[in-house]
Structure 1
Amino acid sequence: MSYPDTGAGAPSPTTVRDVRALPKAHLHLHFTGSMRHGTLLELAERDGIALPDSLVSEWPPQLSAADEKGWFRFQRLYDVARSVLRTEADVRRLVLETAEDDVRDGGRWLEIQVDPSGYAARFGGITAFTDLVLDAVRDASERTGLGIGVVVAANRTRHPLDARTLARLAGQYAGRGVVGFGLSNDERRGRTADFAGAFAIAERAGLALVPHGGELRGPDHVRTCLDTLHADRLGHGVRCAEDPDLLARIVDAGVALEVCPVSNVALGVYSDLTSVPLPTLLEAGATVALGADDPLLFGSQLAAQYATMRAAHELDDATLAELARMSLRASRAPDELRVAALAAVDDWLEHGPGSR
Structure 2
Amino acid sequence: MDRPARDVRTLPKAHLHLHFTGSMRSETLLELADLHGVRLPDSLTSGRPPRLRATDERGWFRFQRLYDIARSCVRSEDDMHRLVREAAEDDRAEGSGWLEIQVDPTSYAPRLGGLTPAVEIVLDAVEAARAATGIGIAVVIAANRTKHQLEARTLARLAAQYTDRGVVGFGLSNDERRGRAPAFEKAFEIARHAGLFADPHGGELDGPRSIRDCVDVLGARRLGHGIRVVEDPELMAVLARRRIVCEVCPASNVALGVYDKAADVPLRTLFEAGVPIALGADDPLLFGSRLAAQYELARDEHDFTDAELAELARQSILGSVAPAEVQRELLDGVERWLAGVGAEFVPTRPPVA
So what's the TM-score if we normalise by structure 1? Answer: 0.95
- Partner of residue 185, structure 1: 174
Query: Counterparts of 1:198-237 in structure 2 under 5 Å?
Result: 198-237=187-226
Deviations 1:130-158 (A, max 9, x none): 00000000000000001000000000011
- Partner of residue 42, structure 1: 31
Decide whether the 8 Å contact of 1:44 with 1:84 is kept in 2. yes
Deviations 1:92-136 (A, max 9, x none): 111101100000000000000000111110001111010000000
1:284 aligns with 2:273: yes
Decide whether the 8 Å contact of 2:169 with 2:199 is kept in 1. yes
Decide whether the 8 Å contact of 2:199 with 2:222 is kept in 1. yes
Q: 1:146 to 1:224 in 2, by over 3 A?
A: same
Name the CA distance, whole Å, in 1 between partners of 2:307 and 2:184.
39
1:342 aligns with 2:334: no
CA drift at 1:191: 2.6
Deviations 1:319-339 (A, max 9, x none): 000000000000011111111
Structure number with higher relative contact order (C-alpha < 8 Å, ≥ 6 residues apart):
1
CA drift at 1:30: 0.2
Q: Aligned letter for 1:154?
A: A
Query: Counterparts of 1:1-356 in structure 2 under 5 Å?
Result: 13-57=2-46, 59-353=48-342
CA drift at 1:59: 2.7
Name the CA distance, whole Å, in 2 between partners of 1:101 and 1:56.
20
Q: 1:104 to 1:185 in 2, by over 3 A?
A: same
Secondary structure in 1 aligned to 2:165? Answer: coil
Name the CA distance, whole Å, in 1 between partners of 2:14 and 2:52.
27
- Partner of residue 9, structure 1: none
Q: 1:352 to 1:266 in 2, by over 3 A?
A: farther
Q: Aligned letter for 2:176?
A: E
Q: Aligned letter for 1:110?
A: L
CA drift at 1:15: 4.8
TM-align CA RMSD: 1.2
Decide whether the 8 Å contact of 1:65 with 1:74 is kept in 2. yes
Name the CA distance, whole Å, in 2 between partners of 1:211 and 1:205.
16
Q: Aligned letter for 1:51?
A: L
Q: 1:21 to 1:249 in 2, by over 3 A?
A: same
Name the CA distance, whole Å, in 2 between partners of 1:181 and 1:122.
23
Q: Which runs of 4+ in 1 moved over 6 A?
A: none
Name the CA distance, whole Å, in 2 between partners of 1:307 and 1:274.
12
What is the percentage of aligned positions where both structures have the same residue?
61
Deviations 1:223-266 (A, max 9, x none): 11111101000000000011110000111111000000000000
Aligned pair count reads 344
Q: Aligned letter for 1:301?
A: R
Q: Aligned letter for 1:339?
A: R
Name the CA distance, whole Å, in 2 between partners of 1:90 and 1:163.
25
Decide whether the 8 Å contact of 2:10 with 2:343 is kept in 1. no
Name the CA distance, whole Å, in 2 between partners of 1:65 and 1:199.
27
Q: 1:58 to 1:23 in 2, by over 3 A?
A: closer
Q: Aligned letter for 1:280?
A: T
Specify every segment of 5 or more residues in structure 2 that has no aligned partner in the other structure, as ranges: 345-353
CA drift at 1:57: 1.8
Q: 1:49 to 1:248 in 2, by over 3 A?
A: same
Name the CA distance, whole Å, in 2 between partners of 1:135 and 1:268.
36
Q: Aligned letter for 1:107?
A: S
Decide whether the 8 Å contact of 1:18 with 1:353 is kept in 2. no
Secondary structure in 2 aligned to 1:289? Answer: coil
